[in-house]
Amino acid sequence: MTDDNRLRSAFLSKQNHLLAALEIVPDLTGHGTTIGDDSEANWSRVLREFLPARYGIAKGQVMDAQGGISDQIDLLIYDAQYTPLLAKTANGDMFVPAEAVYAVFEVKQEINKEFLKYAGNKIASVRKLNRTTVHIPHAGGTYAPKQPIPILGGLLTTRSGWANLEGRAAVNAILGLIGDRRVDIGCALRGVAFNRTDQDLTNELEYSEPDMTLMFFLVRLFSRLQKVGTVAAVDIDAYMNALDLSDEPFSDTAPTSPEAGSGDRL
């Protein structure tokens, strides 16, 4: 077996395991919350196994330094290397700073026009938040503040509500979501995965082979994450000001490391 065939077989095996996990709960229970929670957990596990550790995966809400807050988000991909998390709730959901967010995903059982619009609204609630940016210290001085990266938005499902996701109705539904409501990427495991490359300018969608939906989605997702690089550095003082803590130092006697602030940020 060639290396290409081994890679394909590995992804097919992972895809089949994910499908089995996603489909066993509907067979056992009709409870929508249980089905949704299990689907999110399974997709979350797949993303954690595939993406490098610098990317955190969580369910929760996104907040900004001005007090804005997003809708509840099924899956957030966020910066786990440089940006501190704001809080974690008792049930494990996160409050993630807007600056830390790479991508936002809605998880449903089926991709259709209704759920695409629903996902678009959820994604928009994150994209509309204010994001700060500050200079980045390094050994030789500082880098200029980086512009906040574009936040990816997607929809993850088991199946497609359209017989042909490449047909006119499905294409119009995807391309009809523009601006903050744009859905960039999606995966229907028992259908086809798509990647939107148009940036609202032209009608450009690319699709997976029917039996390689998961591999296509994961590779295209990682490629898009690579292209945006690292998120902008968060202005943590802005969050402190919002909490009225900016004039209250944590400790007047806390030791200062001679290396503090001199680390390089990739």
**For position 85, what pLDDT does the model report?**
81
**Exposed e or buried b per residue across 119-141, where buried means at least 16 C-beta atoms within 10 angstroms of its C-beta:** bbebbbbbbebebbbbebbeeee
Q: Across 81-232, where does the E strand assignment appear?
A: 87-88, 94-97, 101-107, 110-111, 136-138, 141-143, 152-157, 159-160, 185-188, 193-196, 205-207
- Least trusted range by pLDDT, from 6-15, 27-36, 64-73, 145-154: 27-36
User: What was the pLDDT predicted at 246?
Assistant: 43
Q: Where are the domains of the chain?
A: 11-242
The predicted pLDDT at position 199 comes to: 62
- Give the model's confidence band at 31: pLDDT under 50 very low, under 70 low, under 90 confident, else very high: very low
For domain 11-242, the CATH class is: alpha beta
Question: Which pLDDT tens digit goes with each residue over 193-244?
Answer: 999 987 655 668 999 998 889 989 999 999 999 999 999 999 989 988 876 6
Per-residue model confidence (pLDDT) at position 223: 96
pLDDT tens profile 131-176 = 999 998 878 888 898 999 999 999 999 999 999 999 999 999 999 9
- Tell me, what's the pLDDT at 61? 95
Mean pLDDT of the chain: 84
- Is pLDDT of 262 > 60? no
What average pLDDT does range 39-56 have in this prediction? 92
| pLDDT at res. 84 | 84
Asked if the model's pLDDT at residue 250 lies above 90, the reply is: no
| Average pLDDT value for residue range 91-98 | 85
Predicted TM-score (pTM) of the model is 0.83
% the chain with pLDDT above 90: 56
CA distance linking residue 40 with residue 121, whole number of Å: 18
Amino acid at 126: V
Higher per-residue confidence, 187 vs 249: 187
Q: Tell me the catalytic residues.
A: 74, 106, 108
On the question of pLDDT at 25 being above 60, the answer is no
DSSP annotation of 253 reads: S
Which candidate, 57, 133, 51, places its Cα nearest to that of 94?
Answer: 57
